[in-house]
Amino acid sequence: MNPALRDVLVFLQSWWVELVSGVVIVAVVPLVAGYLVLMERKLMADMQARLGPMRVGPHGLLQPIADAVKLLIKEDIIPDNADKMVFWMAPVVSMTAALTAMGGIAFGPAFLVARDINVGLLFVIGVSSLGLLGIVLGGWASNSHYSIMGALRSTAQLVSYETAAGLALVSGLLLAGTLRIRDIVHAQEQSGVWFVFLVPVAFFIYVVASIAETNRAPFDLPEAESELVAGYMTEYSGFRWALYFLGEYANMIVVGAVATTLFLGGWLRPFPNVHWMNWLDALPALFTAAVGAYCVFRAGKQPARVQVWFMWGVALACFAVALILGVPVLPLQVVAPLKFMVPGLHGAFWFLLKISAYIYLFMWLRFTLPRYRFDQLMHLGWYILIPLAIVNVLAAGVAMILETEYGWNRWLALVVTTLFTLGVALFLLRLNDKRAAAASSAAPPPEEPSTEDSYAG
């Protein structure tokens, strides 16, 4: 056989999983991001005493499809003086960065796209930060004043909060001792407790920083409608805008996945090592079955026939998933050969549940909190979050030394250092209040009485 052909076959044989996963990511993630948008609209409506999209498809479930089709058939407008190559490329860069970062995440012990790369977590963070380039190039290429200002602001915000996020992750990594995704989760399994309980301050800093990373409220000034129209996205319409938007939501998933992996135990169920908690293994199946039962309960109350069928369909799907999740866990002899599926499936379930909770938190904060002004945003990042993150790294390091060198109990060491970090946090916040009070008593800067009359002429 032709040696080249043989090489290709060998390559395909050993790498086909990764190739297929790559294709799946590129095909599925935009769809998932589209449904995330629908989820957000439904959640927002629920919190605002209304219903959200209801027309397109049952309960609005075909809304993302309708939106995608609409965006695809929209006229492609490119501003006159825009740089065509960069204008075309910028949203692509943004989306590509988010999708590639997805490739480094493990959704379960069996679902890992990039072969367990040595620098797993760093890979995800590094590649997702390439999305910055998409923003800054997009703003520039639009050749409009609003866009450039929005792009610069957005980039400054992202860079500042990336530092804080990275430092927060370092505190968690100190505890994990490795950058490989599988080994991080394994470390949490070994220590018996999710890292969020060991370094809660780091988790909190990461949450805040990741909200700013993904340009979500309350840090969404660069895309605030009332201020800069849409910032760097102003001149993008139709499918290009959709790419940016999907990149943002894919970024949310990536950021949630990183937090879940490092702090929330990845694909571990709560209390992974405690043997008498093994009944928790039945939770995924029960949960899905409960959702299915609820659908059955509501099916009778639907006004239209097609909606009744739809609810029944959803219920059946839920029961099927519940079966798949539940059967291998049953303590019966007949299902013993299926036991190998448990870690993979259940791991994926728990992982997705945790990411969903994290993203729910993002959305909840978006609907509740007003927006920070840009200088307040930067102040928060540089004056409060970054010093706090640095102190947290030091504290986590000290805790580890206390544990290994001086034989302290791990919990005691971490509690002591966490309290210290909280003290520093309070101190920083008090400083901030004092500075705000001092500045406001002299704000706005005293204006020299201007001689020109702005109303004249």
Residues that bind other proteins in the complex, under the rule CB under 8 A:
3-4, 7-8, 11, 44, 47-50, 83, 85-86, 89, 117-119, 122-123, 125-127, 129-130, 132-133, 136-137, 140-141, 148, 152, 155, 159, 179, 217-218, 220-221, 224-227, 229, 366-376, 436, 440, 443-445, 447, 450, 452, 454-455
In one-letter notation, the amino acid at residue 31 is L
Q: How far is the CB of 356 from other proteins (least distance, A)?
A: 21
CB atoms within 10 A of CB 63: 21
Q: Is 244 exposed, middle or buried (0-12, 13-18, 19+ CB in 10 A)?
A: buried
Q: How far is the CB of 371 from other proteins (least distance, A)?
A: 3
Q: How far is the CB of 151 from other proteins (least distance, A)?
A: 8
Looking at the Cβ atoms of 143 and 302, the one nearer to other proteins is 143
- Whether residue 106 contacts residue 183, with contact meaning beta carbons closer than 8 Å, is answered with no
Q: How far is the CB of 141 from other proteins (least distance, A)?
A: 8
Looking at the Cβ atoms of 47 and 412, the one nearer to other proteins is 47
- Whether residue 263 contacts residue 196, with contact meaning beta carbons closer than 8 Å, is answered with yes
Distance CA 200, CA 221 (A): 28
Looking at the Cβ atoms of 204 and 350, the one nearer to other proteins is 204
Looking at the Cβ atoms of 50 and 275, the one nearer to other proteins is 50
Looking at the Cβ atoms of 329 and 380, the one nearer to other proteins is 380
Closest to 221 measured CA to CA, from 289, 158, 144: 158
Q: How far is the CB of 121 from other proteins (least distance, A)?
A: 10
Closest to 154 measured CA to CA, from 216, 61, 202: 216
**230: which DSSP letter?**
T
- The Cβ-side half-sphere exposure at 449, using a 13 Å CA radius, reads 0
Looking at the Cβ atoms of 290 and 369, the one nearer to other proteins is 369
Q: How far is the CB of 186 from other proteins (least distance, A)?
A: 16
- Whether residue 138 contacts residue 151, with contact meaning beta carbons closer than 8 Å, is answered with yes
Q: How far is the CB of 137 from other proteins (least distance, A)?
A: 7
Closest to 214 measured CA to CA, from 204, 222, 226: 222
* Site of tokens 């901030």: 432
Looking at the Cβ atoms of 52 and 344, the one nearer to other proteins is 52
